[in-house]
Amino acid sequence: MSGAVAVLPTNPVYTPVLLWKAQEKELLQYNFSFEDGMNAAVRAVVRMGIYVKAKVYFVYEGYQGMVDGGDNIVEVSWESVSSILQVGGTVIGSARCKSFRTRGGRLQAAYNLVQRGITNLCVIGGDGSLTGANLFREEWSGLLEELAQKGQIDEEAVKKYAYLNIVGMVGSIDNDFCGTDMTIGTDSALHRIIEVVDAIMTTAQSHQRTFVLEVMGRHCGYLALVSALACGADWVFIPEYPPEEGWEDSMCVKLSENRARKKRLNIIIVAEGAIDCHNKPITSEKVKDLVVQRLGFDTRVTILGHVQRGGTPSAFDRILASRMGVEAVLALLEATPATPACVVSLSGNQAVRLPLMECVQMTQEVQKAMDEGRFVEAVKLRGRSFENNLNTYKLLSHKKTDAELPMTNFNVAVLNVGAPAAGMNAAVRAAVRVGITEGHKMFAVIDGFEGFARGKIKEISWGDVGGWTGQGGSILGTKRTLPAKYLEKIADQMRTNNINALMVIGGFEAYESCLQLYEARSCFEEFCVPICVLPATISNNVPGTDFSIGADTALNAIVETCDRIKQSASGTKRRVFIIETMGGYCGYLANMGALAAGADAAYIFEEQFDIRELQANVEHLTEKMKTSIQRGLVLRNENCNENYTTDFIYQLYSEEGKGVFDCRKNVLGHMQQGGAPSPFDRNFGTKISAKAMQWISKKLKETYRKGAGKIFANTDDSVCLLGMRRRNLVFQPVAELKTETDFVHRIPKEQWWLKLRPLMKILAKYKTSYDVSDSGQLEHVAMHSPKEAETGAI
């Protein structure tokens, strides 16, 4: 396939492609792992392979199964990967394999593949596994010639199967592979960690205890760093950033200061591979003993261990793995003998392909840099997402003394607007603390613009926002009221409180509100100040951003409910569930929930449907009931169609499916808005809020008029929305976003996730076209420049 825009064909040229899907162990390091989300990748590769009319094989027990052959290499069908999305680990197993490290073992593996005509490998693993796969590819022609010399295969087979194509996907909870923002399994591991931290924080607060949590990460501190950022930990130890000499004194002083500010608990997170600046280990027990001896605090150690590898995969991991699996098949279809082995990666919100060995070499360079004490370089080699996480944590965790703080004399107000969304409080906390660090006086506005008009404004301090990251809803209070009818009163309050800048956190109402303030500048000079909007809504319907704070938490609530509903049908065959999701006119939750939960259909406003499509879906489910998969799941966005309501669809399915399947319906309602924020929403909210506050500080300096002694910002770029667009976080003037907005239905005119809709249909066994114009082209790995914008990935 070539060209800028192409539709994946079932062209005869691809028909003979035989695809092998294997999950294997970490080859060169002897260790191996099962990561949550791998089964979603397995499912996607199998179904996409079958969709393009390829034969698909499982190799059970990894490289060991490839060497042993026989029943370990089995052709699979569509139904083989049914009901595995919600299962942790991997259904096809993994095993250590010493023999594959030898040429003799690889010779036997090559023979077993040639016997089945397999010349394409899709490998999920870490850098050791992928290095082994690349070596196998480089030796392939030589192995075949050796087999021919021994008489095990003929010369025709040597010519027919002359080349081996390899595509890798990285499965690692440590997120330790360079070249990708997120590896499969990392987000699920963060879910396990944050669940434990949230539970521990309640008991720690009750007993005024200090808890030292040890998390996985022998060579990479990603899990420790992000979980520390997501829970507001007092201290974190990671391999890439050892504490400075005398850290024992610094840590104890900080813990004491926090207790003096009436904080009833302390959380310290230690990566299992944490070291000091002399490369000596820092263990959780050592940290505990230090706290007890120096401070006398009641201290406990909790080692999470393999709990982090278990459990149900998160929605993020399922979607990521599904996208990567499909991209891997496309990469195999396009591979040529000249194409280097590649790995499918995530950059921001975009799937990319990178040369496998470049990624492996950079990953090994990180360890080399740490071994040689070049820690600053090691952090940069980890990638811009890791470096930005570290910088944000350092910014938020250490409170400067009054003497250290710059004095700007600027007042900045923070408020929430619209419906509550999980992660709002994390964003407010980050805004307040970064604002104080920048030297500003921070103000909190209670109950949105309605509260603003009534003068419900108060100064907020560093300690006031402690412990906010893990709390759902909106502690400041939020209302949907737009400022249009209160403009004069709001201007009066801004003048009275000398507010020099605004940070507005919320959904479509927040965006609309700032647009109204921008348009009212000609009448009210008080609005001529820097204003930044942070998108926070479960609907993910704000223009100018791919993701909104709160959407990931809602998506996980939907997927968890769908899993339970599907499980309830395990004993009752031939049943279809109709699930209604929120989202207004935006179908993001319904579509992505359907992709993550393995639904058969999703009805959304953006893709209009009629009675014929409903009938076709019923017929599709009727056919499905004839297979071994005797249940169905259908999601419906609440405003997808005013006539085809949830009740209507339920009654239609019930009537048309009579005698074949029965039907049940479930309206999820406001449970999608509640609950503790997911790790993604905590981290995303924290990072974009910190970045937004730094932007506000910059704008305040640029727009300050010394002669008048005040701020005057009246340009378009002084009222911006900070959103993630593909790979980067971008500040976009709200005035420019007007042309991208459907104000009637409160959605963007173009939405990136609609390109994933065919993917959901393909994996549900519908015949459709798949747009590959955004398919990843092979790129090269490069260390980022400090000036590059950060990605929004965790």
Q: Has 402 been labeled as part of a binding site?
A: no
The Cα–Cα gap between 612 and 762 comes to: 19
Question: How far is C-alpha 401 from the geometric centre of its chain's CA atoms?
Answer: 35
Q: Has 583 been labeled as part of a binding site?
A: yes
Q: Has 539 been labeled as part of a binding site?
A: yes
Q: Has 495 been labeled as part of a binding site?
A: no
CA-CA distances (angstroms) from residue 281 to 2, 81, 271, 287? 51, 43, 10, 11
Q: Has 432 been labeled as part of a binding site?
A: no
The Cα–Cα gap between 416 and 221 comes to: 33
Q: Has 217 been labeled as part of a binding site?
A: yes
Q: Has 682 been labeled as part of a binding site?
A: no
User: 15: buried, middle or exposed (CB in 10 Å: 19+, 13-18, 0-12)?
Assistant: exposed
Asked if 436 contacts 461 with a C-beta cutoff of 8 angstroms, the reply is yes
Q: Which residues contact 492 (CB under 8 A, 6 or more apart)?
A: none
Q: Has 562 been labeled as part of a binding site?
A: no
Q: Has 142 been labeled as part of a binding site?
A: no
Which 3 state secondary structure label does DSSP give 579? strand
Q: How would DSSP label each residue in 243-305?
A: PPTTHHHHHHHHHHHHHHTT---EEEEEETT-B-TTS-B--HHHHHHHHHHHH---EEEEE-G
Q: Has 670 been labeled as part of a binding site?
A: yes
The Cα–Cα gap between 794 and 787 comes to: 19
Which 3 state secondary structure label does DSSP give 439? coil
Q: Has 174 been labeled as part of a binding site?
A: yes
Q: Has 272 been labeled as part of a binding site?
A: yes
Tell me the chain's radius of gyration from C-alpha atoms: 27
The Cα–Cα gap between 702 and 695 comes to: 11
Q: Has 638 been labeled as part of a binding site?
A: yes
The Cα–Cα gap between 68 and 108 comes to: 8
Q: Has 745 been labeled as part of a binding site?
A: no
The Cα–Cα gap between 535 and 543 comes to: 9
Question: Cβ atoms within 10 A of the Cβ of 577, count?
Answer: 22
Q: Has 116 been labeled as part of a binding site?
A: no
Helices (H), 459-536: 487-496, 508-519
Q: Give the strand pairing for 710-711 and 704-705.
A: antiparallel
Which 3 state secondary structure label does DSSP give 394? helix
Q: Has 671 been labeled as part of a binding site?
A: yes
CA-CA distances (angstroms) from residue 372 to 87, 361, 378? 41, 16, 10
Asked if 605 contacts 585 with a C-beta cutoff of 8 angstroms, the reply is yes
Q: Has 442 been labeled as part of a binding site?
A: no
Q: Has 620 been labeled as part of a binding site?
A: no
Q: Has 540 been labeled as part of a binding site?
A: yes
Q: Which residues contact 611 (CB under 8 A, 6 or more apart)?
A: none
Angle between helices 127-149 and 103-115 (to 10 degrees): 70
The Cα–Cα gap between 448 and 657 comes to: 48
CA-CA distances (angstroms) from residue 65 to 55, 74, 112, 431, 629? 18, 10, 10, 53, 28
Q: Has 746 been labeled as part of a binding site?
A: yes
Question: How far is C-alpha 232 from the geometric centre of its chain's CA atoms?
Answer: 19
Q: Which two tokens stand for residue 207?
A: 């007993």
Q: Has 672 been labeled as part of a binding site?
A: yes
Q: Has 173 been labeled as part of a binding site?
A: yes
Q: String of b and e for 629-638 (b: at least 16 CB within 10 Å)?
A: bbbbbbbbbb
Question: Cβ atoms within 10 A of the Cβ of 406, count?
Answer: 10
Q: Has 72 been labeled as part of a binding site?
A: no
Q: Has 216 been labeled as part of a binding site?
A: yes
Q: Which of 36, 68, 174, 187 is catalytic?
A: 174
Q: Has 126 been labeled as part of a binding site?
A: yes
**Which residues sit opposite 352 in a β-bridge?**
345
Residue 154 annotated in active site: no
Half-sphere exposure of 109 toward its Cβ, with a 13 Å CA cutoff? 31
Q: Which two tokens stand for residue 395?
A: 């910014």
Q: Has 480 been labeled as part of a binding site?
A: yes
Nearest to 534 by CA among 426, 672, 670: 426
Q: Has 259 been labeled as part of a binding site?
A: no
Residue 61's region, left for phi above 0, alpha for psi from -120 to 50, else beta, is left
Binding residues for beta-D-fructose 2,6-bisphosphate are 480, 537-541, 575, 582-584, 638, 664, 670-673, 746
Binding residues for Mg(2+) are 127
Binding residues for ATP are 96-97, 126-129
Catalytic (active-site) positions:
174
Binding residues are 96-97, 126-129, 172-174, 209, 216-218, 272, 300, 306-309, 480, 537-541, 575, 582-584, 638, 664, 670-673, 746
Binding residues for substrate are 172-174, 209, 216-218, 272, 300, 306-309
